[in-house]
Amino acid sequence: MDRDHKPSDVAAPPTDAAFAPTLDGKQVATSKPAAAGISSDLALMALPGMVPAPLQTWDHYEILRPLGQGGMGTVFLARDRRLGRHVALKFLRVPSPEAAERLLQEARAQARLDHNGICKVFEVGEFQGQPYIAMEYIDGQPLHQALTRLGLEQKVLLLQHVAQAVHTAHTHGILHRDLKPANIMVCETEGDRVALRPVLMDFGLARDSLGPQRLTQTGVIMGTPHYMAPEQARGLARHLDRRADVYSLDAYRKIFDGKIEKWLSGTALGTAGPRGT
């Protein structure tokens, strides 16, 4: 799920935005005319803090509230009316055939990964011509916020779990390519003893070695600069491998305020850090 969402203005899509892409790349006319270069349904979806009118009458999901939006998607907290569970619904922020294809690729890659530290995908579908992903709702905080209340040992253990989740993705041929604290949610697990569960989110920039590569373009810089490997920053997208993700994990050292090396030198976890991915 795209959890690095912050309220912001939505950039206007092209003037033909009255046509929304379906998951198979076809163009479907929306039910309302375009206004100021934005289809009316999409404009409603972009209003901060509001549930768009068309979504309020959806018989499959009850939309509870917006969770936020990022560069690619807008995410809502919803309740599945049939199963009674809460989910996170990700819609495209600015629809286009390429964005619809990338959303489907994201869902397929993420759905192949069965790991407690990776957000689960329940389904993909369309609502009024708009593609969406239904994902596990993680009720927690982004890693960089959760760490402010944790001790050093807890921080290192969380990062170890994240590295194991990334390793699972790598063994299935999937590179995340945007590993940053904002894309890792930390929640409390239920049970006799409260434990913290870090969950890897937002596979929107992921590259699946088993999927189509036409969305991976050399020369296009995608990712977050502070956590980006040098070759990724140079736009060498087709030349990236798992080492780019390992580099991003290693960049997390800055969140330990320089204390991690001293702490690891005196513990048995010295071989379990992100370099072990």
Distance between CA atoms of 134 and 87, rounded to whole angstroms?
A: 6
Distance between CA atoms of 114 and 119, rounded to whole angstroms?
A: 9
Distance between CA atoms of 274 and 115, rounded to whole angstroms?
A: 17
| CB proximity list for 96: less than 8 A, separation 6 or greater | 13, 14, 21
DSSP string, 45-75: HHSTT---HHHHT-SSEEEEEEEEE-SSEEE
Distance between CA atoms of 181 and 160, rounded to whole angstroms?
A: 14
| Backbone torsions φ then ψ of 173, nearest 5 degrees | 80, 20
Q: Spot the catalytic one: 178, 202, 208, 245.
A: 178
**Catalytic (active site) residue 192:** no
Q: Using alpha carbons, select from 185, 155, 149, 187 the residue that is nearest to residue 256.
A: 155
In 56-163, where do the E strands start and end?
61-69, 73-80, 86-92, 121-127, 130-136, 141-142
Q: Which two tokens stand for residue 28?
A: 């479907």
Distance between CA atoms of 143 and 155, rounded to whole angstroms?
A: 9
Give the catalytic positions in this structure.
178
